[in-house]
Amino acid sequence: VGGVMVAMSDGSVQFITDSIALPPWRRLHSKDDGQTVSLPNQ
């Protein structure tokens, strides 16, 4: 399974698979807009 390790703003590091849907991926890379991102268990 391919993917990338992502450093989150809370200091945690998450592995995100390369099969992530585009909308949550975009939210992870946007400035603070007050929206939360829910990631499926990967």
Residue 18 CB coordination number (10 Å): 9
Per the CB < 8 A criterion, the answer to whether 25 and 38 are in contact is: no
Per-residue model confidence (pLDDT) at position 42: 55
Asked if the model's pLDDT at residue 9 lies above 70, the reply is yes
Can you name the residues that pair with 3 across neighbouring β-strands? 17
Is pTM beyond 0.85? Reply is no
Q: What ranges in the chain are assigned the alpha helix state H?
A: 22-28
Domain boundaries along the sequence of the chain = 1-31
Taking only the tens place, the pLDDT of each residue in 14-38 is: 899 998 888 888 888 887 778 788 8
From residue 30, give the alpha-carbon distance in Å to each of 1, 23, 25: 25, 11, 9
How does residue 2 score in pLDDT terms, banded at 50, 70 and 90?
Answer: very high
* Confidence at residue 3, expressed as pLDDT on a 0 to 100 scale: 94
Tokens of 10: 């809370």
